[in-house]
Amino acid sequence: MRLARLGDPGAEHPVVLHGDRVLDLAGVTNEIDGAFLESGGLDRVRDALPDLPAVEGAGGLRTGAPIARPGSVICVGMNYAAHAAESGALPPPHPVIFHKTPNTVVGPSDPVVIPPGSTKTDWEVELGVVIGRRASYLAAPSEAMAHVAGFVLCNDLSERDHQLATSGGQWSKGKSAPGFCPTGPWLVTPDEVDHVNLRLRSWVNGEPRQDSTSADMVFSVEHLIWDLSQYLVLEPGDLVLTGTPEGVALSGRFPYLKPGDVVELEIDGLGTQRQELRAYS
């Protein structure tokens, strides 16, 4: 299933996509959040299909993030060997994590404001994992998928000076500017995508940047969820970003983003994003 949230920021309505029809979930839930996922909400949607009313004028509505604001957004760094290399690092022996503030989660095509004074705003296409069931001290990676509600496309936007030069040694300062986590368009349930082999791509102004596959991850989705659960509690509705492949501006091969640039992202089966960059005012 593919779920989405349509409408103005803060007033999105949950929908489910069924073939080429957009169906209203108002009779099932008023939100796609941790409580909905934890209480078997996805099963209730499945049971209600296809007898749900269509959303009138869905094509004219803004697409929001497909999940409400998560409790946590946890990101994994250096999870593709070629990206670690272009960043001047070796692949880490254990997953490296940092946080984005949950209020960075916005719609997939909302404009992105470059932070004031920034000269190093960068893109990162990433496979996002939405937690559906509380995960704490999992015994093995094989238990992880039972705690996953679905997958989303994310852009882990990054300000590299804030991440590296003035970070104080931790990356979160460079990852949490307003709107720095475009998410969606859809929350896709695991039965619909082969998450171990998904093509991830990005473009800037129509020119290709990243083109890789989730098969190249250093640590698999299952390993990451198991590993994280040894150190923190993942709660329903939380979002885990699983790292970006090579082809970002940090490599020195491409210019950083400037006002007027357009970033596009795609992951097989998870939809596309398009963001126009704007100056802060």
Strands (E) in the chain, as ranges, are 2-6, 13-18, 21-24, 73-77, 96-100, 105-106, 112-113, 121-122, 125-131, 148-155, 158-159, 181-182, 187-188, 199-204, 207-213, 239-241, 262-267, 271-278
Binding range to Zn ion, per CB under 5 A, among 112-120, 205-213, 242-250, 253-261: 242-250
Which residues are within 8 A (CB) of 182 and not within 5 positions of it... i.e. 6 or more apart?
Answer: 65, 106, 107, 108, 109, 110, 112, 154, 155, 157, 265, 273, 275
Q: Which of 244, 250, 256, 266 binds Zn ion (CB under 5 A)?
A: 244
- The residue number whose beta carbon is nearest to Zn ion equals 156
Q: Min. distance of Cβ 280 from Zn ion in angstroms?
A: 22
Interface with Zn ion, residue 183, by CB under 5 A: no
Cβ proximity to Zn ion: between 29 and 202 the closer is 202
Binding range to Zn ion, per CB under 5 A, among 7-15, 25-33, 155-163, 254-262: 155-163
Binding range to Zn ion, per CB under 5 A, among 56-64, 154-162, 166-174, 222-230: 154-162
Q: Are 107 and 182 in contact (CB under 8 A)?
A: yes
Is residue 245 reached through a cis peptide bond, with omega within 30 degrees of 0 on the bond before it?
no
Q: Min. distance of Cβ 198 from Zn ion in angstroms?
A: 16
Cβ proximity to Zn ion: between 124 and 264 the closer is 124
Distance CA 154, CA 266 (A): 9
Interface with Zn ion, residue 156, by CB under 5 A: yes
Q: Min. distance of Cβ 264 from Zn ion in angstroms?
A: 17
Binding range to Zn ion, per CB under 5 A, among 12-20, 54-62, 146-154, 236-244: 236-244
Q: Which of 74, 223, 227 is nearest to 136 (CA)?
A: 227
Q: Could you say which residues in the range 80-139 bind Zn ion, by CB under 5 A?
A: 124
* Contacts to Zn ion by CB under 5 A: 124, 156, 244
